[in-house]
Structure 1
Amino acid sequence: MGTNEYLTGSAELAAQLGCTQIDQNNVVEYQLPPEHGDSWLMEAHPAAGLFVTNAYVTLLKPVVREYDIRQNGRWLCSLTGGAITILEPGKKARRLQPGIHLVQTGRQPFKMIFGADALIGFTSIWLFDHYIHIHLQDKPVEPSYNFTDYGAWQFAQYNTPDILLIFEQLRYAIRIAGVPLMYYENKIGELLALIIRNVRYEWFWKRQLQEERRRYVTYQNKKYMFLVKEELDKNILNPPSIKQLTAVAGMGTTKLRQCFKKIFGVTMDEYLRQEKMKEAMRLLSNDDLNIKNIAAAVGYKNSSQLITNFKKVHGFTPNEFRKLFGL
């Protein structure tokens, strides 16, 4: 029979969790049973083939959710904390780290395991091809780009600070539960436009690499760079030393830094800064934390270092970010 995310979004997951449904303006809130504490999912359904969800869930035991979605699309998720593991046929189990992730739908069933070892927080988008076709049918899009070719999307094309900011804006909009539904559609349009930009630049970058044969990164180099990135992502606030990373990659420091920049488009130091500033952005949403505490949490000696790096990455200061959301 398949599962029905295309029509009902997270409703079947909410039912599996034993949730009670409450309608709030144009947002549905699914509250978990009281023994889970303050746990809920909130979801907006702006149009057919589009759901935007924010989750704040503590589980008493792991929950396995089996998805058999027949419609082509993707699940985009900005994970802020907790354990979610993706199991796809023919692939290694993928435990998600904080950041933005993508799962394709309509090709084969898959499973998600929601862990019970920590609070799970995420903002996600069920985005189906039908919605994209309807949304873009009267809009000019670069003829060389096909949105349904999302199987070729690379993490760098949907895991950028400006896209993370969109997820944060969606999170606040859902929690307010009073934003017009067209807001969500406009934000998804913005997200798709940024991905077009990122795909375009990556194509140019890959072509340049092909032309620079002398410095071309081999397939084996790429495999090792993804291992290096995986090690960095395990503890982005206290990353391994460069000596440890050279051992993972099996190459010297200079080559490691060169390969990392070629594969991911930024230096290793810049990548670490961007990821730290993503975490800082998440911490800023907690108005119990002051700037000094957040600076210490992400590894800076003082507030001025955080402010300088935050503005360099996001284009505005931490205080300006908080004012944007009335914090």
Structure 2
Amino acid sequence: MNSRSTKEFKELVLKNMTFTAFNEGNYTIYRNENNPELGFLIEYSREGYYTFGIGDYTIAKDFAISFNHKEEIMRFGTVYSGVTEFEIENNPVSSFTPSSFFVVEKALKGRQVWKKGQHFHGAEITIHKKYFDEVIKPNFPNSINFDNFIYNYTYSYLTLEIATIIQNLRNLSEANELTSLYLESKILECIALLSKEVFSSPENTFTNQLNHGEIKIGKDRYIKLTASDANAIQKAYEILTKEAFNPPTISALSKMVFLNEQKLKAGFSAKYHMSISEYTTSIKMATAENLLSTTELSIEEISTILGYNYSGNFIKMFKKVHGKTPLAFRKKSK
């Protein structure tokens, strides 16, 4: 089974769950009247803009759905029980366990699997990009937007305030007291709280994964750089500046800043327009210039200070950078 939109995906899931839609005024409940023990799915929605869903159901049979969705949507909520198994293209995550979550999806492609007897219980809010484009941006231009986040990255986190809002909406639904107006007011409040979380602090769970652009790795491969990645690269720069005469290896530096070697090397080059080795060499050569011009230290002594095991290697690098040997440079600077 294949789906090309989130709407088609939902229809295929409900069909396999043997659920039928029943309109109850301001919400729709999906269930199997002949097998009520399978549970239910309730949805409140403003078509094309947002949906609030509450699910408490058991899977009736094994099935899987492949998906290739072009829409841009924001989803967040809480899964109280049930383990979701999936494969998403270019994403190492393969399952989702009970927890709060937040994700902005775009061009999502993959496959999801359900097993007979699995029980799922949770509640989530889905907001379409159309709502941000037509309602949020024109009226609240300084609020968050989809581009603030890395697409298809699931944060296992929600602020306590948002988690509480979702729980309260669920309670009102159970009491049959949730109105469309109240729901939309709470969706707006959630967006406001997300904006506050993102912009109020340079260090929080969201900002550590905000989109900091793309870097090129290989001929045609690009990966996104997060704020935590950018911080790691900055930390690497500071370490290299301090330890330029005896710099750690790429492998050691990678472990020191908790960033994989490939992303560290590519990110450093993209940010500072030189490789890691070129940066440490530039510091050594600048220091060499100073020592040659202001001291009477021998070439061997300067070479040792700069961390070269053999003075010949220092002389070779200096000539490559300056076009003359250290002695020739010293004579000219006197």
| Fold conserved between structures, TM > 0.5 | yes
Where in structure 2 are the equivalents of 1:288-299 lying within 5 Å? none
The question of 1:168 aligning with 2:167 is answered: yes
Mapped partners of 1:193, 1:157: distance in 2: 19
Point out the more displaced range, 19-28 or 53-62. Answer: 53-62
Mapped partners of 1:53, 1:168: distance in 2: 12
Where in structure 2 are the equivalents of 1:4-83 lying within 5 Å? 4-5=5-6, 10-32=10-32, 34-35=34-35, 37-83=37-83
Where in structure 2 are the equivalents of 1:1-327 lying within 5 Å? 2-5=3-6, 10-32=10-32, 34-35=34-35, 37-142=37-142, 145-151=144-150, 158-203=157-202, 220=255, 222=258
- How many residues end up aligned between the 2 structures? 222
CA offset at residue 210 of structure 1?
5.3
The Cα offsets for residues 153-201 of structure 1, whole Å up to 9 and x where unpaired, read as 9867952222211221232233344422122221111111111111124
CA offset at residue 22 of structure 1?
1.1
1:5–1:19 distance in 2 versus 1, CA, 3 Å: same
1:170–1:114 distance in 2 versus 1, CA, 3 Å: farther
Which structure dedicates a bigger proportion of its chain to strand? 2
CA offset at residue 33 of structure 1?
5.8
**Structure 2 residue identity aligned to 1:64:** A
**TM-score, scaled relative to structure 2:** 0.55
Aligned to 1:303: none
1:67–1:84 distance in 2 versus 1, CA, 3 Å: same
1:11–1:56 distance in 2 versus 1, CA, 3 Å: same
Identity %: 13
CA offset at residue 219 of structure 1?
6.3
**Structure 2 residue identity aligned to 1:32:** N
CA offset at residue 69 of structure 1?
2.3
CA offset at residue 38 of structure 1?
4.3
Mapped partners of 2:41, 2:94: distance in 1: 23
Structure 1 residue runs of 5 or longer lacking an equivalent are 225-327
**Structure 2 residue identity aligned to 1:120:** F
Aligned to 1:268: none
The Cα offsets for residues 110-159 of structure 1, whole Å up to 9 and x where unpaired, read as 3332344542101122221111122214423427x433433269867952
Mapped partners of 1:68, 1:163: distance in 2: 29
2:162, 2:190 within 8 Å by CA — same for their partners in 1?
Answer: yes
Structure 2 residue runs of 5 or longer lacking an equivalent are 209-226, 240-252, 261-334
1:55–1:10 distance in 2 versus 1, CA, 3 Å: same
CA offset at residue 73 of structure 1?
1.6
Higher relative contact order (CA 8 A, sep 6+): 1
2:103, 2:152 within 8 Å by CA — same for their partners in 1?
Answer: no
1:165–1:94 distance in 2 versus 1, CA, 3 Å: farther
SS state of the match for residue 189, structure 1?
A: helix
**TM-score, scaled relative to structure 1:** 0.56
CA offset at residue 47 of structure 1?
4.2
2:51, 2:125 within 8 Å by CA — same for their partners in 1?
Answer: yes
The Cα offsets for residues 194-220 of structure 1, whole Å up to 9 and x where unpaired, read as 111111244256799959959x99864
